[in-house]
Structure 1
Amino acid sequence: MRKFLVPIVAALPLLTGGCIAKTVVDVATMPVKAVGQVADWTTTSQDEADRNYGRKMREQEAREGKELRKLCKKHPEDERCARTDNGFRADPGGNRNN
């Protein structure tokens, strides 16, 4: 029995073409890859943070503009409603640094 078993076991790596070794490597590196993927999912890149900040600021400016338009409709004499050649002033608080 042993005469047949030793040559079969010795030939097994040649017959499998290294797929067992690759499987062992894949299983060993899987936890490292999984941790790396989780880290990518849970962290925010600088580009993504900049994009989110820009979106947030545009939404805030749109809200402020809408509120200013409502205010100017009700109280057109308010100094914050002073018009310039391109519409409303950028500073809705009326603070001028001149």
Structure 2
Amino acid sequence: MRILVLAIFALPLGGCISTAVDIVTLPVKAASKTVDVLTTSQSEADEKRGRALRKREECIGKEDRRASQRRREPDYSRCPEAR
């Protein structure tokens, strides 16, 4: 008899248990998402470094062309430093 009563009460509680698990894991998921957003992966850092280097090389090329047109020495201090 007890088993039948427990089985009857357990059926509606199945949804409550999964909801409780979702509520308990929500802060962990939120924290991991926050850490993921705030940190930079190695590939993202490499991409950013590559963009900075290409931008500097482009600026150096432009400065070389301007200097040769104006018959002067190039002034690379006009180009931002690649970090």
Say yes or no: TM over 0.5. yes
Q: What percent identity do the matched residue pairs reach?
A: 38
Partner of 1:23: 19
RMSD of equivalent CA atoms: 2.2
Larger RCO (alpha carbons 8 Å, 6+ apart) = 2
TM-score normalised by the chain length of structure 1: 0.63
TM-score normalised by the chain length of structure 2: 0.73
After the TM superposition, which parts of structure 1 deviate over 6 Å for at least 4 consecutive aligned residues? none
Matched, 1:11 2:38: no
Equivalences, count: 71
Larger Rg: 1
Structure 1: state its 5+ residue gaps: 1-6, 81-91, 93-98
Distance in structure 2 (CA, Å) of the matches to 1:60 and 1:35: 37
Distance in structure 2 (CA, Å) of the matches to 1:36 and 1:55: 28
Partner deviation per Cα, 1:23-79 (whole Å, 9 max, x = no partner): 000000100100000000010000110011001100110011101110111016x5x
Which one has the bigger helix percentage?
A: 2
